[in-house]
Every structure is written in C-alpha cells, then in structure tokens.
Amino acid sequence: MIERIGDFLMNTPYWEPQIIIVMILVGAFVGFVNTVAGMATVISYALFMAMGMPINVANATSRVGVMLQFSTNSVIYKKEGLLDLGLAARVGAPVAVGAFFGAEMASIFPPKVMEIASGILLPLIVILLLIDKDKVMKRFDLHYTPQMTFWKYLLFFILGIYGGFTHAGIGILVILSSFFFLGQDLTHANAIKQLTTVIYTPVALVIFAIHGQINWPVALIYAVGNVIGGVVASKVAIRWGEKFIKVAVIVVVLIMSAYLLWKQF
C-alpha cells in the first residue's frame, strides 16, 4: 500500500487532477495545524520529497504557502483585535535578520540536524506550558513585560536563524517565547506568530529563489490548501481560545517530534 502511494506521488505529474487534489488536501491539513500550533511543515517536506524533490527544494517550496497562509491569518487576527502590530513588528525584525543567515545555511546544508534537535528539545520546552506561569512569577517575584530588551532581541534573532533554516517548529518557539518572555496569553502569542512569520518568510524566499530551489507551480497549488486550512484554523483558534491552543500545541509537538526522530532512521 505504502509503495503504491509512493509510486503514485513520484510518477504522477503535478498538473494531473488527482495530484492537485492531494496537494490541496494535504496543504489544508498542514495549514490548519501550523496556524493553531506549528511543526506540520515536516509533512510538506515528506510530501514533496515523495514527489521526487531534494530536501532543500522541498524546504524552499513549502515557504510559498507559508507566506500566503500567514498573511491571510494575520488579517483575520487583526480584524478580531488580537494582533498588536507594533509588538509583532518588533519581534519579527530580529527574526527576519536571523532568517537571512538561516536560509543561506539551508540552501547549502539539509535541515536534518535541526530536525533532530527539534524532535528532542521541543517536547522538553513545551512541558513548560503545563506550569502555571502566573504562580511561578509571583512565587519568585518575577515580572514580565512586552517591552523588548537586548536579550529578547537576541533570542528572536536566534529563533530567526532556526526559522530560516527550517520552518518546522519555528511557530511553536515564537508562541512559547511570546508567552513566557513577553507576557502574552497563548491567543495573543499565536497572533504574534502569524505576523512574525509574514515578516521573516520573504527573506528566506528570496534566498531560496536566488539559488533556484523553489518549484513554483507546486508551491502555488499547495498554497491554495495552506490558505484554506489557515483560515479555518484561525476562526477555530480565536473562538475556542487559549485552552484549545495549549492542548493543540502540546499534542502536535509530541506527535511531530516523534515523527521527526522516527524518520531519521
């Protein structure tokens, strides 16, 4: 069964109706998961590689849908009054600078090392969501503020390097960083993630385009599904709120981290 699916993906031209349907459906699922949590881009990599793309081309091609999806999501979050444009821009700026360096690295080296690191570290980090943040801050007399400092800029710059290298997991990291270091609840942290992705993704896209690593026809077809999934997920995440996002992030991280580690062997 798996071999038949692999043969279908490898040998069917992307303009055939059946492969277009597959790309849109998978793209919609990935768009949904990436909007409410993250890490689903690894599914994009798997699909594109099954279609015969090298990992660096799969990585680059997936970014077009990411850009269009998160642009649409940002508009939705802004209309709902959940997106602080100023704060998101201050977060996105260092991420974009870091993404330049990360994308240059990704154009040369496959993102396998980052994927292994993500599979190990993200489950450990996401455990922090189970902690009552307000109680911890009160117990140790700590204070968080949305004001950006040198160390916060440095943190988001480092996240940008990661995001430029591989999109898988960057959304989770931006959500968690905004939650713990900027004092945002998960709904507003997720809104920041949407616009931050829009700010840094064009930097990576330009680098990949210069290196000729984007399969544009596939990218644009796949993006249709990404946008559909993103719109549905934005509505769901806004309506169901912080508890839904927390559960989604934890479940997605555990499943995708296991997949990232499993596929290395």
Up-side HSE of residue 54: CA atoms within 13 Å toward CB?
10
Local confidence band at 231 (pLDDT 50, 70, 90 cut-offs): very high
Query: What one-character DSSP code corresponds to residue 16?
Result: S
Within 10 angstroms of residue 144's Cβ, the number of other Cβ atoms is: 14
pTM: 0.82
Contact 185, 240 (CB under 8 A): no
Q: Which residue type occupies 181? A: F
Residue of 62, 110, 122, 55 whose CA lies nearest to 257 = 122
Q: Using one digit for the tens of pLDDT, what is the confidence trace for 90-123?
A: 999 999 999 999 888 877 776 666 667 667 767 7
Give yes or no for residue 225 having a pLDDT over 70.
Answer: yes
Q: Which residue type occupies 114? A: M
Counting the structural domains of the chain, the total is 1
Contact 188, 195 (CB under 8 A): no
Within 10 angstroms of residue 19's Cβ, the number of other Cβ atoms is: 18
Residue of 145, 195, 175 whose CA lies nearest to 242 = 175
Residue of 162, 117, 129 whose CA lies nearest to 257 = 117
Q: Which residue type occupies 107? A: S
The whole-number pLDDT of residue 237 equals 87
Give yes or no for residue 152 having a pLDDT over 80.
Answer: yes
Residue with the larger pLDDT of the pair 20 and 136:
20
Q: Which residue type occupies 189? A: A
Q: Using one digit for the tens of pLDDT, what is the confidence trace for 114-151?
A: 667 667 767 776 676 666 656 655 555 555 677 888 99
Residue of 238, 243, 224, 171 whose CA lies nearest to 200 = 171
Q: Domain range holding 116? A: 2-262
